[in-house]
């Protein structure tokens, strides 16, 4: 499965709103996607609650892994975007 490292762009980190947006996007891809802190255990990115357990703050590096490149690209873009901006 392809993977890459992304930097959290949301000002609040991967907290409630950004985590929900990412989890919904994962569901839309129909692929299995995981997020994990570098050197840590990955979590199911289809679950907002699991994403929030990472405690990833703005600027934190996370490893994104997906079943296919299109899903990977979509989720990496979201992780790196400030999803809490209005």
Domains along the chain with CATH numbers? 3-80 (3.30.1340.10)
Backbone φ, ψ for residue 65 (5° rounding): -125, 135
| Given 6, 8, 13, 15, the catalytic residue | 15
pLDDT of residue 82: 95
Does residue 18 carry a catalytic annotation? no
**Residues 8-64 pLDDT 10s:** 999 999 999 999 999 999 999 999 999 999 999 999 999 999 999 999 999 999 999
Q: What ranges make up the beta strands (E) of 10-60?
A: 33-37, 43-44
User: How far is C-alpha 64 from the geometric centre of its chain's CA atoms?
Assistant: 6
pLDDT at 86 over 80: no
């Amino acid at each position: 499965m392809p993977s890459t490292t992304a930097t959290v762009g949301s000002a609040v980190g991967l907290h409630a709103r950004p985590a929900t947006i990412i989890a919904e996007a994962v569901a839309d891809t129909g692929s299995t996607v995981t997020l994990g802190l570098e050197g840590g255990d990955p979590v199911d990115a289809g679950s907002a609650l699991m994403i929030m357990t990472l405690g990833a703050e703005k600027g934190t590096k996370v490893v994104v892994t997906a079943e296919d490149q299109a899903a990977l690209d979509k989720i990496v873009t979201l992780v790196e975007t400030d999803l809490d901006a209005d």
